[in-house]
Homo-oligomer: A and B are copies of this chain.
Amino acid sequence: MEAITDMMNGNLKLSSRDRAVLMKTPFLTGLSGSSLVRMLSAMSVASLPNRKSIFREGDNADAFYCVLSGYVRLYRLNREGREADIRICAPGDTFAECQLYGGTKYRYHAQTAEAVTLAKFDMQAVRDLAEQEKDVAKAVMMSLSSHLQASMDCIANDRLHTAPQRVANYILNRCPVDGGPAAIRLPFQKSLLAGQLGLAPEALSRAFSTLRKTGVTVRGRVIQVGDVGALREI
């Protein structure tokens, strides 16, 4: 434990906030001390400004990442250059770890959607580590499982629900679960939320205004819900 905090204070120069996020990652909780140390020594930390590319589709996949602060967009382009978001990664999220056992090239672009700090893990080092340490392999499996389930949710959501329904789902997923009134604050720009839900920004805006008659009011990033139960009926 001494070694771990030394490491993080020393060559990795983590802020205490970033360190807390890092240790709460599903990826690192549940690791034994020795695995954790080896994991951290395969890691480096970087800070990036907004709108900065992290990697591009087709690049050699030699690292995967964990978001410590800010948000990251994973997306792909079509021939005409239109982009579609595949996933929005929040603090604590890991991305591109599917490349550990899934091919040598990234299959999509990754770009910061805010000022971001990232933990970068050397792919080959973690691959080796996962072969040796069962708890690392387990962490990988848990991460992959949850991402796979989230992706399947996303496919079903896209195919089953209209824009207002997707927005309602999003709100309900981060609301206290009871039936009364509630309020949440968006953690990022609406245009980013639109992308996450597979919508154009205009469509998100219209979805919000459709939800007004269900008791949803939006001002800036604050969303107020009159009755969570009513929203669930959408």
Contacts and interface: CB of A to CB of B under 8 A. Distances in A.
Interface of A: 74-78, 82, 84-87, 98-103, 107-108, 130-131, 134, 137-138, 140-142, 144-149, 151-156, 158-161, 198
Nearest to A156: B76
Contacts of A153: 107
- Top 3 A-B residue pairs of the complex, sorted by shortest distance between their CB atoms: A102-B145, A151-B151, A84-B159
| Majority DSSP secondary structure for residues of A touching B | helix
A155 B156 contact: no
A153 B76 CA distance: 9
Contacts of A148: 98, 102, 144, 147-148, 151
B145 A151 contact: no
A99 to B, nearest CB: 8
9 contacts: A76-B160, A84-B160, A86-B155, A101-B138, A101-B141, A102-B142, A102-B145, A107-B153, A154-B155
A192 B40 CA distance: 46
A156 B98 contact: no
